[in-house]
């Protein structure tokens, strides 16, 4: 494969790759660095690409390796990350002012509930063990087959199945307990609360019925509701969606808060 062909192919894969790295790291800066490192590493090793797997699988394997190196020494986030970050945001008037300024000045910062669902998943999924987190994203959001995930992570299909199953069950349990969108007794109402603060003119009920996961919450089983949540994520590119600047701003806030929180609680 020539460098020119590789660059063309890389550009096609880049949006998915970038979104994958962001959803793993929750850091805009780390994502930029890792994306660049992936391109450099792939270019250096281009002559070793034999086409046994697809180029996309091969590039995702390089990106995953670099991302694992980046995350291996960092602590995982707790399940109640959104509670911790909400409390921190409330105590920080500067964060509120910055957010309002962004909403007023940007065309990509109108609060959208679907985007908040994706953002919330990104934060909470960081409570999963690293291997489970990787398997879940690769299989459920980026549509790799189990065999391809095993190739990317240099493991066996059996272990991918184990990590995937365990991750799904854990996330189903967390969202069942927390998410008021799918469970009336769920303790987290941040979607509607933030909508009320940053987008008060938007009718929350009208917006909620547009989301299949919410419409089917009463009748669908937990596994299916989780699949529908994954569909929400698949439809959103965190770097080009309608409200991506707002959501990236929230994500950066949460990352900073969690870094301080984890340092304090070492």
* Residues lying near another protein in the complex (CB under 8 A): 146, 156, 158-159, 161-162, 164-166, 169-170, 173
Task: Supply the minimum distance, in Å, between the C-beta of residue 34 and another protein.
Answer: 28
Residue 179 β-bridge partners: 188
Select 1 or 158, whichever has its Cβ closest to another protein.
158
Beta strands in 134-205 (DSSP E): none
Angle between helices 93-105 and 81-90 (to 10 degrees): 90
Task: Supply the minimum distance, in Å, between the C-beta of residue 129 and another protein.
Answer: 9
Residue 188 β-bridge partners: 179
Select 130 or 159, whichever has its Cβ closest to another protein.
159
Burial of 236 (0-12, 13-18, 19+ CB in 10 A): buried
Task: Supply the minimum distance, in Å, between the C-beta of residue 146 and another protein.
Answer: 7
Q: Are 89 and 251 in contact (CB under 8 A)?
A: no
Task: Supply the minimum distance, in Å, between the C-beta of residue 167 and another protein.
Answer: 10
Select 116 or 163, whichever has its Cβ closest to another protein.
163
CA 205/CA 153 separation, integer angstroms:
41
Task: Supply the minimum distance, in Å, between the C-beta of residue 164 and another protein.
Answer: 7
Select 12 or 145, whichever has its Cβ closest to another protein.
145
Q: Are 139 and 164 in contact (CB under 8 A)?
A: yes
Select 129 or 200, whichever has its Cβ closest to another protein.
129
Taking the chain, what is the end-to-end CA distance rounded to the nearest angstrom?
A: 47
Q: 3-state DSSP call for residue 265?
A: coil
Task: Supply the minimum distance, in Å, between the C-beta of residue 158 and another protein.
Answer: 3
Name the residue among 49, 69, 68 with its Cα closest to residue 59: 49
Select 98 or 173, whichever has its Cβ closest to another protein.
173
């Amino acid at each position: 494969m020539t460098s020119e062909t590789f660059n063309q192919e890389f550009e096609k894969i880049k949006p998915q790759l970038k979104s994958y790295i962001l959803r793993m790291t929750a850091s805009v800066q780390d994502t930029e660095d890792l994306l660049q490192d992936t391109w450099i590493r792939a270019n250096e090793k281009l002559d070793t690409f034999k086409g046994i797997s697809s180029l996309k699988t091969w590039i995702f394997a390089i990106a995953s390796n670099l991302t694992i190196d980046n995350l291996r020494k960092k602590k995982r986030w707790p399940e109640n990350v959104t509670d911790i970050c909400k409390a921190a945001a409330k105590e920080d008037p500067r964060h509120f002012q910055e957010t309002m300024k962004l909403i007023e000045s940007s065309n990509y910062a109108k609060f959208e509930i679907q985007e908040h669902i994706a953002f919330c998943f990104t934060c909470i999924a960081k409570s999963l063990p690293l291997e489970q987190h990787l398997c879940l994203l690769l299989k459920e959001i980026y549509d790799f087959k189990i065999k391809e995930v095993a190739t990317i992570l240099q493991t066996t299909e059996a272990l991918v199945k184990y990590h995937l199953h365990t991750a799904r069950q854990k996330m189903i349990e967390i969202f069942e307990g927390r998410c008021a969108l799918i469970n009336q007794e769920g303790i987290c109402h941040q979607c509607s609360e933030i909508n009320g603060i940053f987008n008060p003119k938007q009718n929350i009920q009208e917006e909620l019925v547009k989301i299949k996961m919410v419409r089917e919450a009463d009748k669908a089983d937990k596994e299916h509701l989780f699949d529908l949540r994954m569909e929400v994520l698949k439809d959103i590119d965190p770097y080009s969606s309608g409200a991506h600047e707002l959501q990236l701003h929230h994500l950066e806030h949460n990352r900073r808060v969690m870094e301080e929180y984890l340092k304090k609680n070492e």
